[in-house]
Amino acid sequence: MNKTIILAKSHFRKNKGTTIGLLCLMLIAVMLLSASLLLIFDAYPLATREAQRLDSGSGRVRIYNNLTDIDEEFIDELLADDCVRYDVQDCLCYNAIPVPFGNGKATVSLVVDDGSAFQKEMGRTEVVTEDTGITSDYIYLPYQFYTSGGYDIGDTYSFDLLDRTYDLTVRGFTTTPYYGCNNVGGFEVVVDDGTYAELTDIDGEEYACLCVVYELKDGVKNSRFEIGINDKVIARNPRALVSPMSIEFTNEQRTFMSKIIAVSFLVVTLVIFLVVFLMLTNCITNYIKENMKTLGALKAIGYTSSNIRSSLLVLFGSCALLGALIGIVLSYAIMPYIASFAIAQMGIPYEVSFNAFTSVISLAAIVLFTCIVTSIAVIKVKRIEPIVALREGTESHNFRKNRFALNKSALNLDFSLAMKTMCFNMKQNVITFFVIGIIMFLCTIALLMYYNFNKKPKLEILTFEICSGVVAVNPDTSDDLEAYLESRDDVSNIHQIIDTWFTYNGEDSLKVYICDDTGKLKNQDICYEGRLPFYDNEIAISGRFASDYGYEIGNEIPMTYGDDTYTYLITGLIQTTNEAGRQAVMSFDGAGHLMDFEFVPGYYWFDCDDAETTAAVIDDCSEKFGDHIVSTMNFNEILEGSMTTFKGLAAMMLVFICIISAALILLVLYLLIKAFIFAKRKDYGIYKAIGYTSNSLILQTALSFMPSIIVSVALFSVASYFLANPYMNVIMMSFGIVKSNFVIPVPGLAAIALGVVVISFLFAMFEARKIKNIEAYNMLLAE
């Protein structure tokens, strides 16, 4: 053992730079692995942990719109058979209300409670932070308003309810299992008793709501229970609306972003592991080649192959161990920053704490990985014969073609010599090619995310349809609104879409978008296979739902609404992140088989040229139709609010991947060029002796790496352009997106490609400056 350590120390002394370079690579890999594992195993389950802590039960049902005949006795009757326990809370509920959030507005269901919300037995709402000095006209907002909504305690929160404006002081932030996140589609706020009383006086009848948090008995399926509740409530009061939400669904929606971050981190980590693998193998092979004489001498004086192999294993294993320990410490240091983006969407307070499991996995992964790679790479030590090694090994001369002959080459001397060097260093070229290629792919993904989530947000993946605005009116004025909109020259593409819930076989439910003309939908990408329904017997269902229940295009599927069931022909498969991908589309005629539109408000979607025109149209409609307006929505206004967290994530990913890419290029070129200069030191001495300057040799060396970098950048740019969407499809599949069609801006990709080439060249020049230290005379003496 002692011999092994002495040898390992000797190897380290001879290869300090390389060992430290590898240590840095391992450190980065472990840091990312540990951070992504913390995201997956600690931050990501945060929503579930918090839900359990707040006693969320199995789900929550909101009953609203009209609560006639919905009393406590009925609720008891409704839940007695299937639930172990439940808790009912009176509140106010405003559906599809645009509320200020982030840099814009988020359209959500706004549940307004009074102080009694803090006394709930189930699905508790707890204060995270507050200023009790604020005693009147205050509001408690969900914690997400603090993490990504841009609000702090003491700020004034101004929001409109119908045609009234409220200015309330933020007294604190709360955590709640159900309506604490804009991705869930709802915010639960708590206001002071005075404000609540005022709201109750004005809206008490129309917007009263019962929130029932329940815990199901073992064996009761939530989706069946939700359908049963819906049917029973509607049977009791057809004008009541029911909105069920299981805790699983809530958490799934709430962790959408952290899942993307965690998966992205994991992919980046795996890619870096691949780079570590390539570099480790290359370094060990180079080490053996460069130290052949020493290894031969060691063998000659009695060291066995296994002594030498063990020493290399100890050296690189220790390097991995040290890199892992530092990497794990650093992962905890960067975790608050990374987690801040993940929890920004969840809106749950999170403190990073030590997680033994993720640390041990990270440490074991790099140490085992290094030991395995080292064990395989050092096998050739056994084959080294001392006498052959002492003669510098059996270096087989490569009698390849004399490429870039100086008398025939069209390039100038420096370029020609650089190309010659390149041709004789194919191993380095191959490594550079793949490493740069991997980096290009990562950068393309970062660019895709930045462009589609930040620069030009691809709303299609977040919503069913995109347009400039929506105006909804009572059924009796629906035709008038349509006529009015049609009469305006500044409004185009007017179409009607309403949504409701249908059930399937009493087992599951689907949110069905009912359109008057599916051809007018701007988001035609929603149907990724087949076509959108046209005739009254047709339906398009989500791919995820189809896959869960074994349906294909051309099959017939029964849909139930209330007591009626009708069988539709599936014409297409749609994709959406909403409702966990459980959605469907059909025409008004199709839905007419099951439902009566007499009491359904008319929702008119339309387009305008700009945000100002949209606002003007909405204002004019509000003025013209007054009390008949059910709701309005200005997409331009809610865009910023809805995209706040997505934008932050995308920018963070771009910055993060750019930094990691630059670090990888720097480290990889450092290791490759260092080994290359060492191996070619004799040639550099000769060149210097015959009159080449250091700058000329530095340029040649840097240029020799460029062809593989340029070819890699070119090929992988094209490959990434075509592979980025399929890759995103794999990541997005669990959110219900099958065919994402994200835009990859070619100028942006070209800029990244150029950036990678320029950065690589500059780094290569920087690393190759060590050639200055080579003196011809010293080289001659050394020989």
**Does position 694 bind other proteins by CB under 8 A?**
yes
Per residue in 417-436, is it b (16+ CB within 10 Å) or e — as a string?
bbbbbbbebeebbebbbbbb
Q: Indicate the residue type of 438.
A: I
Count of residues near other proteins by CB under 8 A: 31
Least Cβ distance, residue 692 to other proteins (angstroms):
6
Q: Whose structure tokens read 């599809």?
A: 96
Least Cβ distance, residue 415 to other proteins (angstroms):
12
Chosen residue from 1, 119, 163, 399 binding other proteins by CB under 8 A: 399
The alpha helices in 347-406, defined as continuous H runs, are: 356-377, 386-390
Helix-then-strand count for the chain, H and E:
24, 21
**Does position 770 bind other proteins by CB under 8 A?**
no
Chosen residue from 529, 683, 723, 748 binding other proteins by CB under 8 A: 683
Chosen residue from 133, 302, 691, 747 binding other proteins by CB under 8 A: 691
Chosen residue from 495, 688, 739, 770 binding other proteins by CB under 8 A: 688
Chosen residue from 9, 293, 456, 682 binding other proteins by CB under 8 A: 682
Q: Rg of the Cα trace of the chain? A: 33
Give the nearer residue to other proteins in terms of CB position, either 2 or 407: 407
Binding residues among 423-482 for other proteins as defined by CB under 8 A: 424
Question: Binding pattern to other proteins, positions 636-675, x when CB under 8 A?
Answer: ----------------------------------------
Least Cβ distance, residue 760 to other proteins (angstroms):
23
Residue 368 token pair? 């085992």
Least Cβ distance, residue 672 to other proteins (angstroms):
17
Q: What angle do CA 174, 180, 184 make, to 5 degrees?
A: 180
CA atoms within 13 A on the CB side of 300: 12
DSSP per position, 314-360: HHHHHHHHHHHHHHHHHHHHHHHHHHHHHHHHHT--------HHHHH
Least Cβ distance, residue 698 to other proteins (angstroms):
11
**Measured between alpha carbons, how far is residue 225 from residues 79, 121, 751 in Å?**
9, 21, 54
Least Cβ distance, residue 433 to other proteins (angstroms):
20
Give the nearer residue to other proteins in terms of CB position, either 331 or 428: 428
Give the nearer residue to other proteins in terms of CB position, either 250 or 421: 421
Q: Whose structure tokens read 């977040």?
A: 462
Give the nearer residue to other proteins in terms of CB position, either 16 or 397: 397
Q: What angle do CA 765, 767, 773 make, to 5 degrees?
A: 100
**Residues 522, 524, 526, 527, Cα dihedral to 10°:** 160
CB neighbour list of residue 508: distance below 8 Å, 6 or more residues apart: 223, 227, 545, 548, 549, 582
8 Å CB contact between 625 and 473: yes
Q: Applying CB under 8 A, which part among 270-278, 293-301, 354-362, 692-700 lies near other proteins?
A: 692-700
Chosen residue from 138, 692, 705, 742 binding other proteins by CB under 8 A: 692
**Does position 775 bind other proteins by CB under 8 A?**
yes
Q: Applying CB under 8 A, which part among 539-547, 596-604, 691-699, 754-762 lies near other proteins?
A: 691-699
Least Cβ distance, residue 775 to other proteins (angstroms):
7
Give the nearer residue to other proteins in terms of CB position, either 662 or 779: 779
CB neighbour list of residue 204: distance below 8 Å, 6 or more residues apart: 92
Chosen residue from 52, 392, 777, 782 binding other proteins by CB under 8 A: 777
Chosen residue from 238, 695, 726, 754 binding other proteins by CB under 8 A: 695
**Does position 705 bind other proteins by CB under 8 A?**
no
Give the nearer residue to other proteins in terms of CB position, either 155 or 775: 775
**Measured between alpha carbons, how far is residue 600 from residues 463, 496, 500 in Å?**
21, 12, 10
Give the nearer residue to other proteins in terms of CB position, either 273 or 687: 687
Binding residues among 265-324 for other proteins as defined by CB under 8 A: none
Per residue in 700-739, is it b (16+ CB within 10 Å) or e — as a string?
bbbbbbbbbbbebbeebbeebeeebbebbbebbbbbbbbb
Question: Which is nearest to 151 in space by CA: 165, 161, 141, 163?
Answer: 141
Chosen residue from 80, 356, 397, 487 binding other proteins by CB under 8 A: 397
**How many beta carbons lie within 10 A of that of residue 237, not counting itself?**
17
8 Å CB contact between 779 and 680: no
Least Cβ distance, residue 422 to other proteins (angstroms):
10
Give the nearer residue to other proteins in terms of CB position, either 655 or 782: 782
Least Cβ distance, residue 397 to other proteins (angstroms):
4
Give the nearer residue to other proteins in terms of CB position, either 121 or 395: 395
Least Cβ distance, residue 678 to other proteins (angstroms):
16
Give the nearer residue to other proteins in terms of CB position, either 390 or 462: 390
Give the nearer residue to other proteins in terms of CB position, either 405 or 730: 405
8 Å CB contact between 537 and 527: no
**Does position 679 bind other proteins by CB under 8 A?**
no
Q: Applying CB under 8 A, which part among 166-174, 287-295, 477-485, 678-686 lies near other proteins?
A: 678-686
CA–CA separation, 604 vs 584, rounded Å? Answer: 19
Give the nearer residue to other proteins in terms of CB position, either 456 or 772: 772
CA–CA separation, 373 vs 274, rounded Å? Answer: 11
Q: Is 399 exposed, middle or buried (0-12, 13-18, 19+ CB in 10 A)?
A: exposed
Secondary structure of residue 610 in the 3-state scheme = coil
Chain-centroid distance of CA 154 in Å reads: 32
Question: Binding pattern to other proteins, positions 402-431, x when CB under 8 A?
Answer: x--xxx----xx---x--xx--x-------
CA–CA separation, 117 vs 774, rounded Å? Answer: 75
Least Cβ distance, residue 394 to other proteins (angstroms):
13
Chosen residue from 360, 364, 655, 780 binding other proteins by CB under 8 A: 780
Give the nearer residue to other proteins in terms of CB position, either 477 or 694: 694
**How many beta carbons lie within 10 A of that of residue 535, not counting itself?**
12
Query: Residue 653 belongs to what H/E stretch?
Result: helix 635-679
Give the nearer residue to other proteins in terms of CB position, either 346 or 771: 771
**Does position 517 bind other proteins by CB under 8 A?**
no
Give the nearer residue to other proteins in terms of CB position, either 53 or 682: 682
Binding residues among 561-600 for other proteins as defined by CB under 8 A: none
**Does position 693 bind other proteins by CB under 8 A?**
yes
Q: Applying CB under 8 A, which part among 302-310, 353-361, 758-766, 768-776 lies near other proteins?
A: 768-776
Q: List phi, psi (to 5°) of 324.
A: -65, -45
CA–CA separation, 143 vs 340, rounded Å? Answer: 12
**Does position 686 bind other proteins by CB under 8 A?**
yes
Least Cβ distance, residue 677 to other proteins (angstroms):
15
Give the nearer residue to other proteins in terms of CB position, either 6 or 413: 413
8 Å CB contact between 241 and 633: no
**How many beta carbons lie within 10 A of that of residue 610, not counting itself?**
11
Give the nearer residue to other proteins in terms of CB position, either 197 or 689: 689
Least Cβ distance, residue 414 to other proteins (angstroms):
10
Give the nearer residue to other proteins in terms of CB position, either 165 or 412: 412
Q: Which residues bind other proteins (CB under 8 A)?
A: 397, 399, 402, 405-407, 412-413, 417, 420-421, 424, 682-683, 685-695, 772, 775-777, 780, 783
